[in-house]
Structure 1
């Protein structure tokens, strides 16, 4: 195989040539603004007659459809520019312009929702019986039901709060602040993303130095980060109060189309299984020569069997095992590698977190990460390709039905990870290599069942305290320490109490609780993985159909339709957990 077969830098030029100074992008933004102006000029007539005939409502929906994908296209482009170069001030300016257009869009959408809520049920039922609106039944009923949480005549106030100079500005400030951090390790400066990659370094002294350097860098700026997270949360709490929302968890559940019963059943089942994973952590600590596992050793590879992959080797391995699942996934991933969809180069100055950005108008995705050559990097690459494959599966779906909840998005990504880690286990040469790989797999279980739980607990308690006033950095550190202690059941030493700083999910402006969906996706993907093991490649079509339905059904109904399972039951979650607990048993047996 030739070296450097696959490019490690993405191609953004085919989307909007010229970066943040792109003439095509400028024209795109002008078209969006013109489209919004036309929609705003016509909204009064449409809103006053929306209940008179199905074609009026259908026309309004199509007007919204014409604009939303364009907003997403430009927003993803700006996010990619900022990730590759956080100092791209032009991209930040573009991001602000897109936010302004989106604010106008959301304002009109909310007015449409409020108007729908006022339509008498008998008239609404008549509208919904029309063939013109049949395709949109789920979405329209969801919009109508959501209107109870909207602000009526105070929509404009919310739009102002969400403007580039308000709520969203703090999210942008976090991106700049975190991307500009320099973590000094071995007399060399690294980005946050590069420093985090050192967690999997084979040398314990390097892992410890990187851990302490990251904590020290965060300590220096913790007051700035505390101010940022407090202002973000303060905005959110004010908006919730205006909307009559009592719990910050409610919008997250609504966004994920999940019931509280499902979340409670999942966390209850997870908590009951934790003793097994505590046993794994304690055994790993013993193997590493300590009584309790240090946080900087959690990602440590066991033994000397870890392989270092070139980017090409990782790509070929992923393609092989995606091909075992089905031809569509393999073909899709090959195209992503060959057509410059992935930014993977290990260099300073990049943003610190991996992500996948969808471009709905061009039917493409872009993947961003820092590839360091180790198994966690290959799994992160597979994870983001899973997100991109979900976007690919949604291409035939109506543009307004492509917006699926995060918990299902994380299903596709973690399913892809499982294909890779189990592929590596299948070809393990001996017990030592299998132990190493089981450790890698179990890290994912612990991350989802313990680490994600600690993030959930921290965020819940932070918002409870923030409602009473500003929460200073020392208190945030204490909240993080307590959440980690509880979630890990006391099995982790020297935890990163400032992980609230370098965890970007707390600073996202769209929705709080960007954590529990990962656990949902992980456990649900294990169930789907079990189905694939039974059916083989014929399952790929069923899998894609499930993904395609993910933007037009409540998750409970989606899972019921495609698997026959009730996810409000603890028994459903226990099925996946039993498979994970078996991994622990295999690990403990091999480690003796």
Structure 2
């Protein structure tokens, strides 16, 4: 299935899109001229309300061409027009951020008393004002903010784009059933689920060694991304680099540290599982085998079959949710085909409240792809329901952004599980555990690696590809212990993790969200259909309040350590179902 992007523009007309972006830039300039001098202790609540509303409309209009360019580029990173549009959009995005940056500094200069007063008088934007209070001490002078905004296009964002272009261009030649095939990164990674053990090992060795072949480019790129991010965090007076992401995610340093600690303490669940899997498969496992199917004839799904499974699960949960998810198919807002130049992985794109979300995935036909479809459409459900909010309250922090996606996976998991029996059911639960390990323990391992990599680069001025690979190897040993063998090429795996390049310290949000979702799903199992309206209301809330307060409304207290531990007890109970 391919998406239809004509809701943005009929064709990728470079001149028209450039003109639209230029118009937005002029509007942004006029907007700053209108409000910059007004933002002081004498500004009225009505003036601030008007400021927010005008800002929202500016963003709604300005993000349309930027989102379009991003989607077009992700569909084919080698297309010259898409590359040019993406570059133009990035350039204008940087210019618009630069011109708007003094307003952020101006609000940061307001006294806490003034901000408190505005928060009470403009209740619809009270959380936005609360965030200004929290960010005050990290916002720099007008000139400094302008410099950071202006140079963003040539700093870590530019390097992460270079990394994306480089790795998206990789092609892998491999012999399958006596025939040499040329595969993309997504296709070669899909061979981890092949029933042929030799093919799995050969494919992953080929995959990681391709990254190792570019160790100078990738290693230097990562070092510069880290230095750029950490320098900004230091300039903004954050105690640690990760603190900058934590504030953006509306979570405390302490809660993230506690989550990482508790997850690491529970890695015995992973060890126990893979020792059981080795016995079940009657073979010694390596890391190339952690997603190996239990049967030599792994079930394959057509895209239409996957669609029906996912729709049935969402409709069974709630008709409104089902209709929203179905609209993605009816309105051609999904790109599922594997084509040359397309970015790997999967995502759901939603920028504004005025254009519905779009989904990209690389559908290979295995059960994992069915779950990925459910996952990304969960994002789409969230992005659609939260369009009830205005733009400023629309987007959630990363820690809440994965809620609906993982919840959707659980809905599909229960639907499929209840239709299976015996070994087939047992192996499906096992496969789901593996995927859950990937989004909890594995992301936790990535987070631990990132923290140490940033510390090493800060301490020594740089870290070689080899040093970073050694750090990563140590983390692999903590996660898996002696339950699987660690081939040398897997120590290069860190270099294939796109998030650590384009969004430093993003990865722990997956684990954070998974723990939250398990808590939510347990509530659903306890309450049944009575839970549904509360869940829909949570998704409709978008980012209008802090995660802690939004979750408190449905009976979840994320300040308690036992809440986080409860997620791992849930996983352990799943494991005990099969061993």
> Does the alignment reach a TM-score above 0.5?
yes
Per the TM alignment, residue 318 of structure 1 is displaced from its structure 2 partner at its CA by 0.6
Please tell me whether residue 33 in structure 1 is matched to residue 22 in structure 2: no
Distance in structure 2 (CA, Å) of the matches to 1:15 and 1:52: 37
Please tell me whether residue 142 in structure 1 is matched to residue 131 in structure 2: yes
Equivalent residue number for residue 274 of structure 1: 267
- Alignment map for 1:374-389 (pairs within 5 Å): 374-389=366-381
- Alignment map for 1:18-97 (pairs within 5 Å): 18-19=11-12, 21=13, 25-47=17-39, 49=40, 51-97=42-88
| C-alpha spacing 1:555/1:108, structure 2 compared with 1 (3 Å) | farther
Question: Which string of whole-angstrom CA distances, capped at 9 and with x for unpartnered residues, describes residues 9-64 of structure 1?
Answer: 11112322213x356534432331221121233243333x5633112222222222
Equivalent residue number for residue 502 of structure 1: 496
| C-alpha spacing 1:530/1:52, structure 2 compared with 1 (3 Å) | same
Range with bigger deviation, 223-232 or 483-492: 483-492
Is the CA contact (8 Å cut-off) linking 1:73 and 1:358 kept in structure 2?
no
- Alignment map for 1:422-571 (pairs within 5 Å): 422-428=414-420, 430-467=421-458, 468-494=460-486, 496-508=490-502, 511-563=503-555, 565-571=556-562
3-state SS of 2:387 partner: coil
Equivalent residue number for residue 360 of structure 1: 352
Distance in structure 1 (CA, Å) of the matches to 2:527 and 2:355: 29
Distance in structure 2 (CA, Å) of the matches to 1:271 and 1:216: 28
Per the TM alignment, residue 395 of structure 1 is displaced from its structure 2 partner at its CA by 1.1
Is the CA contact (8 Å cut-off) linking 1:71 and 1:98 kept in structure 2?
no
1:210 pairs with one of 179, 203, 211:
203
3-state SS of 2:21 partner: helix
Equivalent residue number for residue 148 of structure 2: 158
Equivalent residue number for residue 290 of structure 1: 283
Please tell me whether residue 170 in structure 1 is matched to residue 163 in structure 2: no
Range with bigger deviation, 106-115 or 526-535: 106-115
Per the TM alignment, residue 586 of structure 1 is displaced from its structure 2 partner at its CA by 1.0
Distance in structure 1 (CA, Å) of the matches to 2:28 and 2:106: 19
Distance in structure 1 (CA, Å) of the matches to 2:47 and 2:440: 48
3-state SS of 1:129 partner: helix
Is the CA contact (8 Å cut-off) linking 2:354 and 2:387 kept in structure 1?
no
Distance in structure 1 (CA, Å) of the matches to 2:80 and 2:388: 36
Per the TM alignment, residue 413 of structure 1 is displaced from its structure 2 partner at its CA by 0.7
Is the CA contact (8 Å cut-off) linking 2:470 and 2:491 kept in structure 1?
yes
Is the CA contact (8 Å cut-off) linking 2:196 and 2:296 kept in structure 1?
no
Q: Which runs of 5+ in 2 are unaligned?
A: none
Is the CA contact (8 Å cut-off) linking 1:324 and 1:537 kept in structure 2?
no
RMSD value, Cα: 2.0
1:572 pairs with one of 547, 559, 563:
563
1:400 pairs with one of 368, 383, 392:
392
Equivalent residue number for residue 4 of structure 1: none
Question: Which string of whole-angstrom CA distances, capped at 9 and with x for unpartnered residues, describes residues 119-163 of structure 1?
Answer: 234433333332xx221011112123202112214112212331x
Question: Which string of whole-angstrom CA distances, capped at 9 and with x for unpartnered residues, describes residues 392-447 of structure 1?
Answer: 1111101111111111111111111111112111000x311112201111112321
* TM value normalised by structure 1: 0.92
Per the TM alignment, residue 478 of structure 1 is displaced from its structure 2 partner at its CA by 1.0
| C-alpha spacing 1:50/1:191, structure 2 compared with 1 (3 Å) | farther
* TM value normalised by structure 2: 0.94
Is the CA contact (8 Å cut-off) linking 1:302 and 1:435 kept in structure 2?
no
| C-alpha spacing 1:50/1:79, structure 2 compared with 1 (3 Å) | farther
3-state SS of 2:402 partner: helix
Is the CA contact (8 Å cut-off) linking 1:550 and 1:558 kept in structure 2?
no
Per the TM alignment, residue 248 of structure 1 is displaced from its structure 2 partner at its CA by 1.1
Distance in structure 1 (CA, Å) of the matches to 2:528 and 2:425: 24
Please tell me whether residue 259 in structure 1 is matched to residue 248 in structure 2: no
3-state SS of 2:435 partner: helix
Equivalent residue number for residue 330 of structure 1: 322
| C-alpha spacing 1:474/1:484, structure 2 compared with 1 (3 Å) | same
Equivalent residue number for residue 239 of structure 2: 246
Equivalent residue number for residue 172 of structure 2: 183
Is the CA contact (8 Å cut-off) linking 1:277 and 1:581 kept in structure 2?
no
Is the CA contact (8 Å cut-off) linking 2:101 and 2:146 kept in structure 1?
no
Aligned length: 571
3-state SS of 2:173 partner: strand
